[in-house]
Structure formats: structure tokens, C-alpha cells
């Protein structure tokens, strides 16, 4: 049908044109019209066809990630560990990679084993150890021996009724103790607290400022907290109610009111005249009920949330290491292209330094920097990016400022004939460093200039490189890389110059010729 319609159109066109054109001109005009139509189809239709094909190919790929979305927290943790493994492969530092790999294997082991880790945290005088003993006596299930100690940290593994997982009850050293050993024990306690699924924070009275700060820092990590007010046997009923209200008020926004409970882990003995002192039993029923309710209702979510939190911390550490590695590689790349640009300007001195004149050098630098940050960038994009930063440098007056700064530093120590070339070359190198640092910031922000735009980034990098220490270090290198080669160029092997003819007389014939 399409072919028939086209043929009918051609016949109609020939019939109409035969009334106005001679027979010998009819065929060339028709061929010219057909050529124009074909050209229009190629220029417009072919790009549209390629674009449609690309969209068709990309559509299935875009739907694949939707199928890989984790259905639960365990799958999310496994996915995070897999991503961390890929990140580790890009780290070049063997020591850093080995340490991070060990932490990853530990988290993966915890994910596969899946014990519920409950850490008891607080000051040394709050009664943490007594609370551990009371809980071990009251909890129903098998209690094993201590799993080991690390700087006075002990872990007990229990099997509770109604839970499919084992429970690790961890006793940590006291915090806020004086001395170097006290600080070391506090670091150990905080490390164990960060790895906990559930944290029992034990206090024996109102919160001190230092204790509240510790509580805020741990709560900021996203940990599930239960605040335990110990030593209730030393207070009356009304005093205990008042103190609980004070604690709930101070911890508002950090801990839910229902998660602030009171107990008495080791009640004081009551003297009995003429008889042995009476020792009351520990009063931890409220805490046990709260602990059982949280573990039964939220145990699985607590484990998954903790594993995800640890994975996120490991991923953050890995990315920081990768960013440091990339920054070092990027700095080496910028240094190399800075002196390449300086060599170009020194070999072909220009009336005025302009980054646009070294656009090819900077475009190549942009492509290498993009490769360091794992970004695919076409040559045209790199060239446009280099030109944009170059125009920004010129617009902000940084080019002129660079010439003034470098000129002031070099002109006093160089001959007038050499100063011009040296200033041009060193200024070009310095501007390349400013542009390179701006490109690095652009790639660090995932190809985004930030809220202030390109001008803000370029201006900030100019100010950073203009600081006295940074500029002094750069000029020291520039003297070796640019100025000294210009002062002492390599001797060229030129052809010998012809000597004037020697006129000999009788007296000179007797002398040996040199």
C-alpha cells in the first residue's frame, strides 16, 4: 500500500509537471526532488530511528534494578556486603583493604549466625555487673560460661524460650573514668555499644551532663536504647516516680518514655538483730518484661538494622579510603598537566596568559580525572568543560590575578628578557592547578557544581591555592620545573661559523698555524 501510494504520487507529479516544463527538463527536476526527499529522510528520520532504538534497548535495563530491590532487611544487608566487596577491589592500599576486608567478614559472620546482642553500658558505679548477674539468674534458659574477655569485657550466650535466636549479653567496662586506662576502657565500651542490637544504659540517679552527651552520641547512631534506673531499693516510691519523670524529660527525643524502667540489681541487706541479715532478691521484673517484649516483637528488625548500620559504616570507611586514593591520583594528574601546560606556553610565549590557549591540554586532563573517578566522559564534553572553566577564570579576573601574583614573586629574581616567558609559563601552570582542583570538586559532587555554581567553586580553589604556604610550595617546584630550564637551556649543536680569510706575510709563514 505504501509503495502504491508513493508510485501514484510520482505519476501525479509527472503529469502536473508536464504542463509547465519541457520534456527534456522533466526528468532532472524529478530526480532533484527525489534526492531532496531522500536527504530529508536521512537527516531527520535516521537520527529519530537511532534514538528510538537506544530507548528501546535501555528500557529493559531500566526495569532490572526494580527487580533487585531487597524485599527485607536481610537481603538489603547481603546486597550491602556485596557492594562493599566490589568497593574493596578498587582499593590499592593492601593494609587498608585487608583491615576493611576483615571487618566485612566479621559482619558477614554475624549476619549468618544472627545472635541478638544486648550490651549493658554505663558508668562503673551504676551497677552494670550486678545487673548482669541478676538477669542471668532470672532469665529462663541455658546459660553458658563467659565467651572470653577483652579489656574486661565479657559476653554470655543464652538460649531463651520463645526466641529462635541465641542471646549475647555483654558486660562492658565503665565509662567516664579518669586516667589513660579509663579512657581506653571507655573506648572499648563504646566500640561494643556501637555493635549492639539493643543497648541497656544503666544509671543510678539523675543523668550528668557527660552521661547525657554519651547517650546523645549513641542515640544518633540509630541504636535501640532502654534506660535502666538501678538501685531503686535506696529510694522511696515517690522519689522514684519523680526521678523517672526527670529522666524521661531529659531523654525526650532520644528514648521513648515507656523505655525508661527502674530496677534493683543488688539490693542492700537488711540487718536483723540477733539473726543473720536478710538479703532481698534482685528486683528486675520490670526490666525483664520490657526486655522480653522488645526481643520478641523487634528482635529480627533489631538484628537487621544493626547489620545494615555496620554495613553503612564499613561502606563509608571504604568510600573515604577510595576518595583519598582518588584524590592522590588526581593530584598527580594535575601536577603532570600543570607542567605540560607550562612547557607549551614557555615554548610558544603568548602576549597574555589565557587558559583557553591550553584548552587541549586541559581537556585531556579532564578526561583523565573523569577516569580516576570512574566517570565516562566524551572528548567533546571534556573540551566544553575545560572551556567553561577557562571562561570563568577569565571572567572572574583570576587570569590577571594569577599573572600579578606570579609576576610579583618571580620578576625580582629574573632578568627582564627571561621574566616574561617564565611568568607566562608559571602562571599557566598555576591556573591549570586551580582549574584541575575545580574539576576534582566537580567530580566529587557527582558532576555537580553545588549550590554556588561553577564560579563559587573556581573562586574557592583560587583562594586556597593563593594561600602563602601553598603558593610558596608551588613556586619552589616551579623554579626547578620551569625557571631553571629557561635560565640554563641545553646547548644546541649548531654548524660551525665560517672564519674570515687569513692574510699571510713572510714573518707569519714561520709561525705554526693554529
Blockwise average pLDDT, block size 10, the chain, 514 residues? 74 73 75 76 68 52 47 70 78 76 75 76 81 75 40 71 77 67 72 81 85 82 85 88 90 87 88 84 86 81 77 81 88 88 70 56 88 86 86 79 72 56 79 89 88 88 82 80 68 39 42 42
Write the burial class of residue 423 (CB in 10 Å: 0-12 exposed, 13-18 middle, 19+ buried). Answer: buried
For 414, phi and psi rounded to 5 degrees? -130, 150
Q: Where are the alpha helices (DSSP H) in 114-253?
A: 128-138, 179-194, 209-219, 237-250
581537556: which residue's cell? 363
Write down the architecture of domain 114-267+278-283 according to CATH. 3-Layer(aba) Sandwich (3.40)
198 backbone φψ class: left, alpha, beta (φ>0; ψ -120 to 50): beta
Q: Where are the alpha helices (DSSP H) in 195-234?
A: 209-219
Cell of 140: 529462663
Per-domain boundaries in the chain:
114-267+278-283, 319-487
Q: Could you tell me the CA-to-CA distances from 154 to 102, 151, 282 in Å, in that order? A: 22, 9, 21
The pLDDT value recorded for residue 206 is 86
For 199, phi and psi rounded to 5 degrees? -120, 125
Q: For 123, which DSSP code? A: B
User: What's the predicted TM-score (pTM) here?
Assistant: 0.55
The pLDDT value recorded for residue 506 is 43
Distance between CA atoms of residues 57 and 226, nearest Å? 53
Amino acid at each position: 500500500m505504501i509503495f502504491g501510494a508513493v508510485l501514484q504520487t510520482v505519476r501525479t507529479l509527472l503529469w502536473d509537471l508536464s504542463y509547465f516544463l519541457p520534456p527534456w527538463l522533466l526528468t532532472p527536476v524529478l530526480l532533484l526532488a527525489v534526492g531532496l526527499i531522500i536527504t530529508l529522510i536521512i537527516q531527520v528520520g535516521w537520527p529519530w530511528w537511532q534514538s528510538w532504538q537506544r530507548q528501546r534497548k535501555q528500557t529493559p535495563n531500566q526495569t532490572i534494578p526494580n527487580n533487585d530491590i531487597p524485599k527485607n532487611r536481610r537481603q538489603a544487608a547481603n546486597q550491602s556486603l556485596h557492594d562493599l566487596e566490589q568497593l574493596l577491589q578498587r582499593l590499592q592500599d593492601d593494609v587498608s583493604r585487608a583491615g576493611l576486608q576483615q571487618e566485612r567478614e566479621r559482619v558477614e559472620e554475624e549476619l549468618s549466625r544472627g545472635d541478638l546482642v544486648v550490651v549493658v553500658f554505663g558508668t562503673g558505679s551504676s551497677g552494670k555487673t550486678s545487673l548482669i548477674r541478676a538477669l542471668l539468674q532470672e532469665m529462663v534458659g541455658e546459660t553458658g560460661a563467659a565467651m572470653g574477655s577483652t579489656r574486661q569485657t565479657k559476653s554470655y550466650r543464652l538460649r531463651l524460650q520463645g526466641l529462635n535466636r541465641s542471646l549475647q549479653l555483654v558486660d562492658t567496662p565503665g565509662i567516664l573514668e579518669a586516667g589513660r586506662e579509663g579512657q581506653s576502657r571507655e573506648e572499648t565500651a563504646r566500640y561494643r555499644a556501637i555493635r549492639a542490637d539493643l543497648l541497656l544504659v544503666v544509671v543510678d540517679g539523675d543523668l550528668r551532663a557527660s552521661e547525657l552527651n554519651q547517650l546523645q552520641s549513641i542515640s544518633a547512631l540509630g541504636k535501640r536504647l532502654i534506660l535502666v534506673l538501678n538501685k531503686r531499693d535506696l529510694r522511696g516510691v515517690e522519689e522514684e516516680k519523680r526521678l523517672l519523670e526527670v529522666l524521661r524529660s531529659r531523654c525526650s527525643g532520644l528514648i521513648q518514655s515507656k523505655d525508661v524502667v527502674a530496677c534493683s540489681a543488688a539490693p542492700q541487706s537488711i540487718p536483723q538483730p540477733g539473726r543473720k541479715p536478710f538479703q532481698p532478691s534482685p528486683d528486675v521484673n520490670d526490666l525483664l518484661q520490657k526486655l522480653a517484649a522488645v526481643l520478641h516483637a523487634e528482635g529480627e528488625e533489631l538484628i537487621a538494622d544493626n547489620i545494615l548500620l555496620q554495613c553503612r559504616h564499613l561502606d563509608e570507611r571504604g568510600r573515604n579510603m577510595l576518595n583519598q586514593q582518588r584524590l592522590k591520583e588526581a593530584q598527580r594528574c594535575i601536577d603532570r598537566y600543570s607542567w605540560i601546560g607550562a612547557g607549551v606556553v614557555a615554548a610558544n610565549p603568548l602576549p597574555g596568559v589565557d587558559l583557553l590557549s591550553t584548552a587541549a591540554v586541559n581537556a585531556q586532563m579532564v578526561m583523565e580525572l573523569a577516569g580516576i573517578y570512574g566517570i565516562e566522559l566524551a572528548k567533546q564534553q571534556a573540551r566544553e568543560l575545560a572551556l567553561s572553566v577557562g571562561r570563568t577564570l577569565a571572567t572572574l579576573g583570576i587570569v590577571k590575578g594569577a599573572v600579578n601574583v606570579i609576576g610579583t614573586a618571580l620578576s625580582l629574581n629574573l632578568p627582564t628578557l627571561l621574566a616574561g616567558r617564565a611568568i607566562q609559563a608559571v602562571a599557566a601552570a598555576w591556573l591549570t592547578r586551580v582549574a584541575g582542583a575545580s574539576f576534582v570538586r566537580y567530580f566529587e559532587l557527582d558532576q555537580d557544581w553545588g549550590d554556588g555554581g561553577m564560579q563559587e567553586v573556581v573562586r574557592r580553589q583560587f583562594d586556597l591555592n593563593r594561600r602563602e604556604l601553598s603558593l610558596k610550595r608551588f613556586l619552589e617546584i616551579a623554579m626547578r620545573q620551569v625557571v631553571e630550564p629557561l635560565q640554563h637551556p641545553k646547548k644546541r649543536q649548531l654548524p660551525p661559523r665560517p672564519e674570515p680569510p687569513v692574510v699571510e706575510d713572510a714573518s707569519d709563514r714561520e709561525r705554526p698555524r693554529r
